[in-house]
Amino acid sequence: MSRDDSIFGASDPVALTRDWLAQAARSEPNDPNAIALATVDAAGMPNVRIVLLKEIEEDAFVFYTNYDSAKGREIDATGRAAFCLHWKTQRRQVRVRGDVTREDGPRADAYYRSRGLGSRLGAWASEQSRPLADRDTLIQRVASAHQAHGDDPDRPPFWGGFRIRPVEMEFWQDGADRLHDRERWSRTAPDGPWYVKRLFP
């Protein structure tokens, strides 16, 4: 892909996302890596929530969660997800759709160990997305997890990463009079070549 094909001078959309995120990190007051993650349930009803994007690999995006959460179950059922990055200070957004696999090995272990102890114990204690009677119950479960797993708990078997390999990415940059710059990158499979087209705003 030639850089001349992209209105943003990009030759790879994942690399462009990484560049835009690095720029946003210098101006966004909180969580420039926050993504609005969309999944679909068994009835076809969409769900969306904010999670933190933790890694941008050469050809994929990785975040971590409880596999038994609503998003985890929905991703496992469909093998697909979408997300949007939006940076108000940069007046930019990136939309991504793709196929999803688990990151359930040493890299997930390493990321889990990089978290604070409270967060690691919380992963053991929380039955994410399930009903909770009251906050005291949660605090008690954290204390029980601490007693059971100590100060260096292993990663729970129900907690790990998801890797999104994109098949479509769209870049948007604000323009005067709502004449925004927009382009879509697409491919037929996660390992296929990219094609880029400029879009009407």
Secondary structure of 95-160 in HEC code, one letter for each residue = EEEEEEEEECCHHHHHHHHHCCHHHHHHHHHCCCCCCCCCHHHHHHHHHHHHHHHCCCCCCCCCEE
Length of the chain, in residues: 201
Secondary structure of residue 168 in the 3-state scheme: strand
CA pair distance 110, 113, nearest whole angstrom:
5
Nearest in space to 124 (alpha carbons), one of 152, 98, 104: 152
Catalytic: which of 178, 182, 187, 198? Answer: 178
Please indicate whether residue 113 is annotated as part of the active site: no
The gap from C-alpha 152 to its chain's centroid, in whole angstroms, comes to 26
CA pair distance 9, 17, nearest whole angstrom:
12
Q: Which residues are catalytic?
A: 178
